[in-house]
Structure 1
C-alpha cells in the first residue's frame, strides 16, 4: 500500500484555534473554496452560498454521529497498588455496550490492570486492541446509557496542539448530530446551520443522513496513523438512503458527501454490500468511486491521508494548486476552519 503524501507548507497562523462563533463569524459564514473536479477551476465564496453550487435533484448526505467527551484523567492500579494518578486516557473506538479501545498516553498498561475514572466508574484492561497494538481494550464497570452519562460528566473533548483553549463540547457538535459515538467531531458538517439546510431543501436539494462514529486519528508519538486501513470505524446506513441514492443517480442528480467519513461509509456499503459494520476502507488515487460524485470537506494538513482520498476526486496538481490558493487567501485549517466543495 502506498500513499500520495501530498506535502506543502502550512503557516501556523492558518490553524483555526477558535470556533468561528468565537471569532464573531456565524458557522455558515466561514469561507468556502469551490474546486471543479474536471478543470481545477477555483471559485472563492462564503459557505452560506453553497446553494449556488448545488442543484435541484442533488442529494446531500451528512453524518449525524454526535461527538462525545473522549479525554479522561484516571488512576492506574496493578495488583492492588496505585501506580500513578492523573494518567491520560483517550477513547479511540467503541466495541460494545461496555467495551472501548483506548489510547493510554505514555504508559504501558497490561491485561488485568484497573483504571479508576471515578467512584462510580472503573475499567479493567483486557489487553492490546485488535488491529492496533498501540491501543488497549477496556471493559467498563457500566454499560449503555449509564456509561455514557459517566463519560459525559467526567471527560472533555479531544483537542490537538493548535487548539489552545479547552472549548466546551457544544462547539464540537454539528447542529444535526443525534447519536453519540464520535471521539473526534465529524467536522465537515459543522458549517451547516438549520437555516442553510432549509434553504437547500427549498431549492430542491435532497438531504439525508448516515452514521459513522469517528475514531481517534492521532497516536501521540509523532506518528500519524499511516492510512484509514489502520483505522476501523463503525458505520450504519439505512436501506431507504441507498434507495434514494439509486433514484437520485438514475434521475441525473449528484450524490454529495459531507466529509470523508460519509465517503468511506457509502463506498464501503457499495463495495461490500453491507449497510452496517466496520470500515477501514482506504481511498486514494485511482480508486473508482461508485456512489459519491462530490465532497464537502475542510482543509487537511500536509501528508494527511484525507488528502489521499481527495485524489480520487480530482488530480493531485489541482489539489496542490487549490491548497496554494487557499494559503494565499488565508483560509483557515482544521475543525474550526473554512470549507472546500469539490464537484
Structure 2
C-alpha cells in the first residue's frame, strides 16, 4: 500500500548510512526540525535543545523494546537462505521474510548452532511465511543473539554492531527493527527534561519489518505488532491529559500502542496484546498530542500516521524544507518534532 503523502524524493546523499557517533556527533546532537501542527511553521535546532519546545507537566512516552539481531543465515539444499524475522508468534514460531531463494511450505532450513527452521505456512500477508524452529524459548533467543545480525537495508553500507541499533533505555527484547525515534535520547538529556518537569513513561511495542524489499511494503491494515501499556503509563497519560499537559509519543510505535489502549470513555487502559490499528488522516487521536519521529520515506505508511497530527500539505511543505536544508533520513538520521506550539510562537 502506498502512502497518501509521496510527492517527494530523498536523494541518496541524504540517506544516513552512518550512526551519529561514527560521524563525530553525540547521539543527542543530531538536528531537530520542530513543526507546529497548527501553522506549519518550522523551527530548526539540534535535538539536545528539545527542552525548549516542551513544558512542565508534559509527558514523554518512550518505547523500551530492545532490538534483536533478526537476520539469520542458513541453507536449504544448495541454496543460501537469509531469514529476516518479523514477528514472534509463539515460543518457537515466527513470521519471517525469506530472501535469496525459492522456498515452499514444508521445506526445512538449516541454520548455525544446530538449529533448523521449517516453513509451516503463509504469514499474515505475502511474502511473509511462518517458521517453526527446532529450539524454543530462551534457547532460541540464545541462538538468535549468538548467530544473528542486525537488520539493515540497502542504504546502510557498513554492518554496524547491534548496540548501534539500540536506544539507551531499551530493556525488553522483541523488535526486529530499532524503534528509532528514541535513538537520539541520552541519559543526560532525559535527566535535563525531568529537571524541567517533563515526565517520562514507557510502553513496549515490538516493531516488525517495515519493508519487504523489491519495493514492497507491509499493508498497514494487516501489520500486526505486539504491545504492552503498563498500569503506571496509562495512569500518567490520563493524569497528564486531565491536568492540561501534552502527551508526546516518541515514535509511531508509541502512538499505535497508546491509541490502541484507549477505551470507550477516551481513557488509556493498561493492557497488552496484538494491535493492527492503522492510523491515517482524519483519525481522532485521543491519547497523544504530539510526536517525535525521524524522517520517513515517501512510500512508508508512517507518513499516513503523521497526517493524523498535521495537514498533509503542511507536512509535505515541511519535508521539502527538510530536504532543501540537508536533513538526514532513516534510523541514523535527524529528528522531527510535530507538536502544537502556540506558546512557542
| TM-score after normalising by structure 1 | 0.94
Deviation at 1:111, TM superposition (A): 2.8
User: Paired residue for 1:289, among 285, 292, 315?
Assistant: 285
1:332 correspondence with 2:328: yes
- Deviation per CA, 1:188-239: give whole Å up to 9, x if none: 000000000011011110001000000011112322224x212111001112
Q: Secondary structure at the match of 1:148?
A: helix
Aligned to 2:241: 249
Q: Secondary structure at the match of 1:247?
A: helix
27-36 vs 103-112, greater mean Cα deviation: 103-112
- Deviation per CA, 1:111-152: give whole Å up to 9, x if none: 3221111242112221112x2131111111111221111101
Instruction: Return the alpha-carbon distance in structure 2 between the equivalents of residues 35 and 119 of structure 1.
Output: 48
Q: Do the aligned partners of residues 290 and 2 (structure 1) sit closer, same or farther apart at CA in structure 2, a change above 3 Å counting?
A: farther
1:94 correspondence with 2:121: no
Instruction: Return the alpha-carbon distance in structure 2 between the equivalents of residues 308 and 274 of structure 1.
Output: 26
160-169 vs 274-283, greater mean Cα deviation: 274-283
Whether the 8 Å contact between 2:89 and 2:95 is mirrored in structure 1 is yes
Instruction: Return the alpha-carbon distance in structure 1 between the equivalents of residues 215 and 129 of structure 2.
Output: 19
User: Paired residue for 2:217, among 224, 229, 235?
Assistant: 224
Instruction: Return the alpha-carbon distance in structure 1 between the equivalents of residues 284 and 91 of structure 2.
Output: 36
Q: Provide the aligned C-alpha RMSD in A.
A: 1.5
- Deviation per CA, 1:290-326: give whole Å up to 9, x if none: 1000000000111321111111101111111111111
Instruction: Return the alpha-carbon distance in structure 2 between the equivalents of residues 271 and 246 of structure 1.
Output: 12
User: Paired residue for 1:259, among 241, 244, 251?
Assistant: 251
Whether the 8 Å contact between 1:3 and 1:284 is mirrored in structure 2 is no
Instruction: Return the alpha-carbon distance in structure 2 between the equivalents of residues 259 and 160 of structure 1.
Output: 20
Whether the 8 Å contact between 1:7 and 1:303 is mirrored in structure 2 is no
Aligned to 2:110: 116
| TM-score after normalising by structure 2 | 0.94
Q: Which runs of 5+ in 1 are unaligned?
A: 77-82
Instruction: Return the alpha-carbon distance in structure 2 between the equivalents of residues 74 and 214 of structure 1.
Output: 23
User: Paired residue for 1:141, among 109, 130, 134?
Assistant: 134
1:73 correspondence with 2:67: no
Whether the 8 Å contact between 2:3 and 2:300 is mirrored in structure 1 is no
Deviation at 1:287, TM superposition (A): 0.6
1:270 correspondence with 2:262: yes
Instruction: Return the alpha-carbon distance in structure 1 between the equivalents of residues 3 and 298 of structure 2.
Output: 12
